[in-house]
Structure 1
């Protein structure tokens, strides 16, 4: 037996996948950033797409706030609402399907080529009866999706809308904050970090300035959780976040990328010597004990750095170099850290 031309078992698997996603979304609670990341990953899998994106409207632009698959490397990318299928989806408030971006006059063709897509479904995301963004799946081949994929994406967009409603009953500016900040530490999340990094790299290129990226990994979080409990681990993460904020300047950006991973964007760095001095100061300020329920807990972190454009003018390479430096520092400090 088939359902819309597909085996019935495949249709049942998709339905079970949506139900499982609903359960997992409920577990994430008010962490809207994590909800959006989960939904794009599941939407990609359930529609057999090559990538999936949640774009939220920000003025006249659409911003990639969550991305998976081939779209993940474009997290934080900004597109003009006008001349894009996502912008049209917000304007019309209904799902739109692009069979082939090379022949569809509604799309931003250059952006499609940059991401590597030829076909896509774009589904509106509603918050308080206002369309605030879109959920999109994409594929590198034309005509990759059918009506069943549209139905699956509609269910997934409903999960995001419900999460938005429960995360905030306020105006859309509060929704944007929830979508771009880590609920535990209050720091910007991965999506906002990539957004700001792309913007600052473009600005630094125009003004011929330098900036730097720091990769910061908390050492010993698992032993803290195992010995003192997850509340203590959460308190240690918040303490590290606080120290990172205090160790950086007002214009710099500290973000929690997930788990025990943090990143710092340092703007207007004159040279490598100044960066090295700054990193040493950050290392000194973030490490040290703190008190939690009459217990003294050690907070330690490993830091790696990369300088733009000296080390690289490519975003991915810059981050990889900072990560490599962080892991090298972590190896140097073993077995003192885990």
Structure 2
């Protein structure tokens, strides 16, 4: 179904929420990855959807670069442009709605079944007059969305388009860099981490190879912020990121996946002993004090890891296992301290 909106069907409360979203986005500055994640969450809330996603068109594929709700764990998923409703939206530049994926010939029906969705709206995201991706909301039931949802999604997609313009005024290649990297540290962001992890897991599984996943959580960021201010806190995050990156192999991926959270992908890691040694080395290198405006500030990081295939062969299972191991390490550090 092609959509053309006429008079506004939105109530004042929804319009006010969109205005508030615009204000919140302004606070995120040039962190395009953060803007996309925020808009996905807000689009889900405003339309009553089960999930929302920002997909960027990259070559012949549509790639999940931000996601919330039921599709949050599908970050990094890649779909063929030519067989998806999102790809059609990019090609036509039009807002499209699917009321029932089981009877709509434009959608990838098997992908919809895997995601547990039956209806969706996709709206184009434009940068420099080119449609570079879509904002999509999804629901598990048929006929979940109406004209008001379509209008709300259209308006909020404009907020991403504005953020795209300010983040990358001239080059589309710069747009993808901004969308996949953390603005503060320059490391890959959560979306790119999930993308690379998904591909790394697939490759390791097909080749009967090994893979390590590290979860790293800064110790004591809040006390740094409280005592020295947020500029010192940002400096601590940047220093931690630089030290983690410095201790990566060329084949590794280090990413900032949250405020004080980092993660690493270690392709071809050897034994559990090798992973433990790598974790200790990272913790030791990050844990050295650093100087900020004439003061020496303590840094620390708790590290947990998971190995494929020993700890699982599913991406989410590996992340959960590394998470639990990190929290155990953090509890151990507190007990010692």
- Extract structure 1 runs of 4+ deviating beyond 3 A: none
Residues 76/304 of structure 1: CA separation in 2 closer, same or farther (3 Å cut): same
What CA distance in whole angstroms lies between the structure 1 residues aligned with 2:12 and 2:328?
Answer: 47
- Superposition deviation, residue 336 in structure 1: 6.3
In structure 1, C-alpha distance between the alignment counterparts of 2:292 and 2:25, rounded to whole Å: 31
Q: Which residue of 1 aligns with 2:176?
A: 176
Cα deviation, 1:13-70, whole Å, max 9, x if unaligned, reads 1111111111111111111111111111111111111100000011100000000110
Corresponding position: 1:237 with 2:237: yes
SS at match of 1:113: helix
CA contact (8 A) 2:62 2:87 kept: yes
Query: Is 1:256–2:271 an aligned residue pair?
Result: no
2:41 aligns with: 41
Question: 1: distance between equivalents of 2:273 and 2:74?
Answer: 31
In the aligned structure 1, how far is the partner of 2:62 from the partner of 2:194?
14
2:93 paired residue number: 93
| SS of residue matched to 1:82 | helix
* Aligned counterparts, 1:21-100, within 5 A: 21-100=21-100
Normalising to structure 1: TM-score of the pair? 0.95
| Correspondence list, 1:1-338, <5 A | 11-334=11-334
- Cα shift at 1:107: 0.3
Q: Check conservation: 2:125, 2:157, Cα contact below 8 A.
A: yes
Structure 1 range deviating more: 76-85 or 279-288: 279-288
Give the superposition deviation at 1:314.
1.2
Q: Offset at 1:167?
A: 0.8
Displacement of 1:318 in angstroms is 0.8
| Residues 86 and 134 in structure 1, CA contact (< 8 A), matched pair in contact too | yes
Does structure 2 conserve the Cα–Cα contact (< 8 Å) formed by 1:209 and 1:270? no
Contact 1:33 1:182 survives alignment (8 Å): yes
Deviations 1:277-306 (A, max 9, x none): 222222221111011111000110000000
* Structure 1 alignment gaps of length 5 or more: none
Query: Per the alignment, in what secondary structure is the counterpart of residue 310 of structure 1?
Result: coil
Once residues 262 and 275 of structure 1 are traced to their aligned partners in structure 2, the CA distance between those partners, rounded to angstroms, is 16
TM-score (norm 2): 0.96
Find the aligned partners of 1:34 and 1:280 in 2 and give their Cα distance: 30
Inter-partner Cα distance in structure 2 for 1:153 and 1:98: 14
CA apart distance, 1:170: 2.2
Q: Distance in 1 between matches of 2:248 and 2:336?
A: 26
Q: What is the alpha-carbon distance in structure 2 between the residues aligned to residue 302 and residue 276 of structure 1? A: 12
Alpha-carbon distance in 2 for matches of 1:19, 1:196: 35
CA distance in 1: counterparts of 2:266 and 2:277, whole angstroms: 13
Distance in 1 between the 2:195 and 2:216 partners?
A: 19
What CA RMSD, in Å, does the superposition of the two structures yield over aligned residues? 1.3
- Post-superposition CA distance 1:209-241 (Å, at most 9, x none): 101110100000011011111111111111111
**2:62 touches 2:79 (CA, 8 Å); kept in 1?**
yes
2:124 aligned counterpart, secondary structure: strand
